[in-house]
Structure 1
């Protein structure tokens, strides 16, 4: 990799925000170096690169640091013209993609509470997630009135929103029932979301970046057990 175009991504494999950036780099065909961070023992370099939030992901391009996943993704899309353009040229369509990509975070964040709680607290979190998922499904109907694109179409026209949905919701929806004891995203309730994820995971660049199911399940179970033990302590 030429030094004048060196790309380094600082992240942790459990973060959907890091996964967003990884997927974009893969789909755009951008070579990069990956540095795994331990967020319980943050490296001096991470603290130097992101002194305000002290979080991942951090993308370093030619020695310059860019933070916040959506900001990083737009930077990548504007800097590298290779691969699919992740934001439409039309200003209105671009605004809609940005809006719904931001909204996905409002869907994924309450899922953490589903994972960390039991009883009434979990039921409340499940209800919140379910309501937000319904709104997202309705939003996708407006964006894709003719249905979700095929795998071939996605290979040329994948958007920022698609990759955010895959990173935030795609990695976990198949293991929710096993780990959470509940299934929120399925083909009956949310056919467009499931169709989107199903098509995207068939893209070669996406396939090579997917974590083994067993590793994801093991981590979520470990996270849930620790959270529940901490709550009862």
Structure 2
């Protein structure tokens, strides 16, 4: 079982990307501290933890930071072996899951940025 001494998630209540990380942490039964970020007034910690994109989500595990929700999900799945797997063990099925996850991320981004639904 992975070391779980300190897990912090920096997110924003409206971010679907942060929400999917929260879902994964809860599904795996991982205790974590949640830090709500105001993206209009970004915290010094958020800027320090994600200096490239300066956005949420950011996972901090024992002082190590991981940014980008899909990367965080893979990290969670590989670090915490207990609980259900987030991705299938079969490489082809895992690739399919990654494809659909990326597709949904792109669609969600379109909805958030443009305020329109591409499925109409």
Equivalent residues, number: 118
Q: What does residue 35 of structure 2 align with?
A: 35
CA offset digits 1:161-197 (Å, max 9, x no partner): xxxxxxxxxxxxxxxxxxxxxxx5xxxxxxxxxxxxx
Distance in 1 (CA, whole Å) between partners of 2:19 and 2:63 is 21
* Structure 1 position 82, deviation (Å): 1.5
Alignment of 1:52-131 (within 5 A): 52-112=52-112, 115=115, 125-126=116-117, 129-130=118-119
CA offset digits 1:130-169 (Å, max 9, x no partner): 2xxxxxxxxxxxxxxxxxxxxxxxxxxxxxxxxxxxxxxx
> Could you say which structure has the greater relative contact order, defined with CA pairs below 8 angstroms and 6 or more residues apart?
2
Structure 1 counterpart SS, 2:55? coil
Distance in 2 (CA, whole Å) between partners of 1:75 and 1:4 is 13
Distance in 2 (CA, whole Å) between partners of 1:98 and 1:42 is 30
* Structure 1 position 113, deviation (Å): 5.3
Alignment of 1:57-206 (within 5 A): 57-112=57-112, 115=115, 125-126=116-117, 129-130=118-119, 184=120
**Cα distance, 1:79–1:4 mapped onto 2, change above 3 Å:** closer
Q: Structure 1 or 2: larger helix share? A: 1
TM-score by length of structure 2 reads 0.91
* Structure 1 position 107, deviation (Å): 1.9
Q: What does residue 24 of structure 1 align with?
A: 24
Structure 1 counterpart SS, 2:25? helix
* Structure 1 position 110, deviation (Å): 2.5
Distance in 2 (CA, whole Å) between partners of 1:49 and 1:113 is 24
* Structure 1 position 19, deviation (Å): 0.2
* Structure 1 position 88, deviation (Å): 1.0
* Structure 1 position 4, deviation (Å): 6.1
Distance in 2 (CA, whole Å) between partners of 1:38 and 1:112 is 17
Bigger-Rg structure (1/2): 1
TM-score by length of structure 1 reads 0.48
Distance in 2 (CA, whole Å) between partners of 1:45 and 1:113 is 25
Structure 2 counterpart SS, 1:60? strand
Give the unaligned 5+ runs of structure 1: 116-124, 131-183, 185-233
Distance in 2 (CA, whole Å) between partners of 1:46 and 1:109 is 20
Over aligned residues, Cα RMSD in angstroms? 1.6
